[in-house]
Amino acid sequence: MNMTNTTTARYAAACLLICSSWLQQAKAQFTPKANKQVLQLVNNDLDFAVKQYKHMAQHVPEKLLPRTTNSDGGLMTSNTGWWTSGFYPGTLWYLYEYAHDTAVQAEATKRMLLLTKEQYNKGTHDLGFMMYCSFGNAYRLQPSDAYKKILITSSNSLSTRFKPTVGCIKSWDNKEWQFPVIIDNMMNLELLCWASKATGDSSYLHIAKTHANTTMAHHFRPDYSSYHVVNYDTTTGKVISRITAQGYADESAWSRGQAWGLYGYTVMYRETKDPAYLQQAQHIAAYILNNPAMPKDLVPYWDYNIPDTANAKRDASAAAITASALLELSTYADKKEGTKYWTAAESIIRSLSSAAYLAKEGENNNFLLMHSTGFFKANSEVDVPLTYADYYFVEALMRYKKLTGK
C-alpha cells in the first residue's frame, strides 16, 4: 500500500471511530418518556391551577401583586419593585399556554402593565425574575415589538450592575458589604442570554458567562454546596468574605440556594453548550439527590445542615425549582444520569401534587403550594405559600408535558 492509500485508510478509520463514538453517545442519551400516572397528576394539577388562579385574580388589589400569606392568614401583596413581582403574571402565561383561557391571558396582560416601569430599574439584580418570567413568557407565546423592547431595556438596566473588575453583577446595594453577590443571581442570567440572541450583541452573553464563571470559582465548596453570599472587594475583585445569610449557618447549605445554582447552570449550559456548566449542574444535582438530609419525599428542609430536623420546616419552593431544573438537565445527560434526574423530578411532582403540599380549591389564599420557607432566621415567610413556588411548580408541570410531547 502506498503512502496515499495508507493516509486514506487511516483517515477512514479515524472517521469510523468518531462516528461510532458519536452513535454510542447518541444512543446513550436520555430520552424523556411520560409515566401515565405522573402525566395524569400533571394534567390534574394544571386544571386545578387554572381554577385557583382565576379565584386569585378576584382578590388581588388592582395595583398590586400577590406575594404570600401574612401573619393574620390574609393575602400579602407587593408593589412592582419587589423581587417576586414577575412570578404571578409569569404563572398566568404558563396557564394560558396550557388552557388557552382568555380570562387568564387578560389577567396576565393587566398585571404586566403595572410592571412595565421596572424595565428602567437599575437598583436591583432581580430583573430576570421580574421581567423575564413575565414579559419573557409573554414574548415567547405572543411575540411583539413592545415586549421585545421592554426585555432589551431590562437587559440594559441589569447590565449596569456588572463590574468587570469583580466579574459579577452586584446583588444588593447596602453598607454592610462592598460588592455582595448572591447565588440567586444565577437565575437572572437567562434574560441576558436572551438579549444577546435577540439583538446580536454578544456583550450581554459575555456578562452572563463572566458572572457564571466567577460564581463557579468562588461560591461553591468542594462538595458543590454553595454559599448564599460572596462579598468581593470592589476595586480588586478579591473575595472578602463568604456568608450564608438565609441559611442555618455560614458553612451550611441553604436548600433554595442549591436549587438556584442547579437551575442557573443548567440554563447556562443550554445557552452556551459549555461542558463546564453541564458538569457544574450535574455536581450540584448529585449534592442534592445524594444528600443524607434529604427527606424521602424529596421536599427538602429549608437548609441541608439543620442539626435537628424533627420540627424543621420544609421548603416546597426549593423542591419546585429543583424539579423544573432536573427535567431540563435530564435532556442533556446520558441515559443513566438522565434517568436519575427525570425519576427524581417525577418523585418531586408526585410529592407536591399530594395533599401534604397541594392546597384545596379556594384555600391557601388561592396559591397552589403550601409549606415553603422564605427567610427562616428572620421569621419572614415561614411555612407559607410563595408566589415563586407556584411559578416553578407550574413550569415543571408544563416542561413535563412539553418534553414528553403530551
Catalytic residue annotation: 126, 184
**Residue among 293, 398, 279, 300 at smallest CA distance from 347:** 300
Look up residue 14 and give its three cell numbers.
Answer: 479515524
For cell 453577590, the residue is 181
DSSP strand pairing (239-243 vs 229-232): antiparallel
Look up residue 190 and give its three cell numbers.
Answer: 437567562
For cell 414577575, the residue is 86
Rounded to whole angstroms, the Cα distance separating 72 from 68 reads: 11
**Residue among 42, 64, 68, 44 at smallest CA distance from 388:** 68
Look up residue 309 and give its three cell numbers.
Answer: 430536623
Burial status of residue 240 (CB atoms within 10 A of its CB: 0-12, 13-18, 19 or more): middle
36-57 helix and 387-404 helix, angle to the nearest 10 degrees: 140
Rounded to whole angstroms, the Cα distance separating 333 from 341 reads: 9
Number of residues assigned to the chain: 406
Rounded to whole angstroms, the Cα distance separating 50 from 105 reads: 11
Rounded to whole angstroms, the Cα distance separating 200 from 193 reads: 10
Rounded to whole angstroms, the Cα distance separating 269 from 16 reads: 28
CA gyration radius, the chain: 22
